[in-house]
Amino acid sequence: MTSSPSPASPSPAISEPWTVRRVLTWVTEDFATRGLETPRLEAELLLSHVLGCNRIQLIIDRDRPLENQELSAYRALVSRRRNHEPIAYLRGEREFYGHVFEVDARVLIPRPDTETLVEVALDRTRDRHMFGRMVDVCTGSGNVAISFAKERSTWQVRGTDVSPEAIKVASRNAVRLGVAWNTAFSTGDLLAPVRQMGPLDLVTANPPYIPSAEVDQLPADIRNHEPRLALDGGADGLDLVRRLIAEAAACLGADGVLAMEIACDQGPRVVEQMQHAGWTDVRVAQDLGKRDRVVSGIRP
């Protein structure tokens, strides 16, 4: 924070304390001048994290002066956010499907659009037997696998990822959210780590699906901080999608379901590829913004 006075370097000529209200006003204005889309919300999210409270409490305690260590911790987070480091990484958590997941720079940040993938997975297995087998590929933080496991407690749930560091995060989340007893994670390529599970009932995936040439055009928050491995889907964005269409067919049992998140303009191409490979009842589900988001089908 370079303006004077500021919570980063308060002027000795200013005796007014840095209260919750004052520091939020200053940081909100600072974030706004830097082009952040939701400056007030972000200022509040970071301060509530530092103070260990919710945003409502910030209103209640708006006249409370910050202690020096609180001001120092807040200043550090504000500095990182100025560098476009995502709020979820700064707070170390992100809510998804009603659960709070631990996240950091080792994993893609869970997004609301991906909740559509969970909904499709649940809907397409609603009438299946109680003791199913589900594998979530490219699992990242484990948000899809764990959210499904919370709803299908009798199922055997597995998640895979080529990143050993992502698997560590997912495993911690399974323990924190109470599903480690029926949910486990393995390092490896797509379905390779789970071939010994036997016929699967469901495969889900939120694979990297952004065309390589477009990754560097993404917002700075994403391109500079989230794992490129979880973003770059090859020349047309569909490298892993094509592989999954083939590999899942070999691992799923009769009437097994494959459900994959896609970019909003990829639906027709993925539907065509699945139908050409013999998949049946191929459907496209839309996210809350009414954009194509998930393609699913029954194994050939």
In a domain, 43, yes or no: yes
Residues 115 and 187 in one domain: yes
Does 106 fall in a domain? yes
Residues 70, 203 within the same domain: no
CA max distance for the chain: 76
Q: What is the CATH number of the domain that holds 60?
A: 1.10.8.10
Sign of the Cα torsion 52, 57, 62, 65 reads: negative
pLDDT of res. 129: 76
Same structural domain for residues 150 and 220? yes
- pLDDT value at residue 10: 43
Report yes or no: 182 and 152 within 8 Å, Cβ to Cβ. Answer: no
In a domain, 204, yes or no: yes
Report the chain's terminal Cα–Cα distance, integer Å.
59
The sheet carrying 133-137 orders its strands as 183-187, 156-161, 133-137, 200-205, 252-261, 292-298, 280-286
If asked whether residues 117 and 61 sit together in one domain, one would say no
CATH number for the domain that contains residue 236: 3.40.50.150
Res 300: pLDDT: 84
> Residue 167 CA to chain centroid, in angstroms?
14
What does the pLDDT read at residue 7? Answer: 62
pLDDT computed for residue 15 by the predictor = 64
Check residue 1 and give its pLDDT: 44
Q: How many domains does the chain have?
A: 2
Considering the domain architecture, whether residues 178 and 266 belong to the same structural domain is answered as yes
Residues 141 and 271 in one domain: yes
Say whether both 284 and 157 belong to one domain: yes
Residues 209 and 290 placed together within one structural domain of the fold = yes
Residue 13 in any domain: the answer is no
Q: pLDDT at position 6, please?
A: 63
pLDDT of residue 13: 43
Strand 183-187 and strand 99-102: pairing?
unpaired
Clarify whether residues 31 and 156 are in a common domain: no
Boundary (domain end) residue, out of 83, 109, 126: 83
Last residue of a domain, one of 83, 105, 120: 83
At 12 the pLDDT is 39
| C-alpha closest to that of 290 among 267, 273, 274, 270 | 267
Phi, psi of 101 (to 5 degrees): -105, 140
Q: Write out 204-266 in H/E/C secondary structure.
A: EECCCCECHHHHCCCCHHHHCCCCHHHCECCCCCCHHHHHHHHHHHHHEEEEEEEEEECCCCC
What pLDDT, on a 0 to 100 scale, did the predictor assign at position 99?
98
**Boundary residue ending a domain (39, 59, 83):** 83
User: What is the residue range of 286's domain?
Assistant: 97-298
Distance, CA of 137 to CA of 151 (rounded, Å): 18
**pLDDT in the model for residue 18:** 94
Q: What is the pLDDT along the chain (300 residues), one digit of tens a residue?
A: 444 456 655 443 446 899 999 999 999 999 999 999 999 999 999 999 999 999 999 999 999 999 999 999 999 999 999 999 999 999 999 999 999 999 999 999 999 999 999 999 999 999 887 899 999 999 999 999 999 999 999 999 999 999 999 999 999 999 999 999 999 999 999 999 999 898 999 999 999 999 999 999 999 999 999 999 999 999 999 999 999 999 999 999 999 999 999 999 999 999 999 999 999 999 999 999 999 999 999 998
Whether residues 149 and 284 fall in one domain: yes
Same domain, 35 and 181: no
Q: Is residue 90 part of a domain?
A: no
Domain match, 242 and 124 both: yes
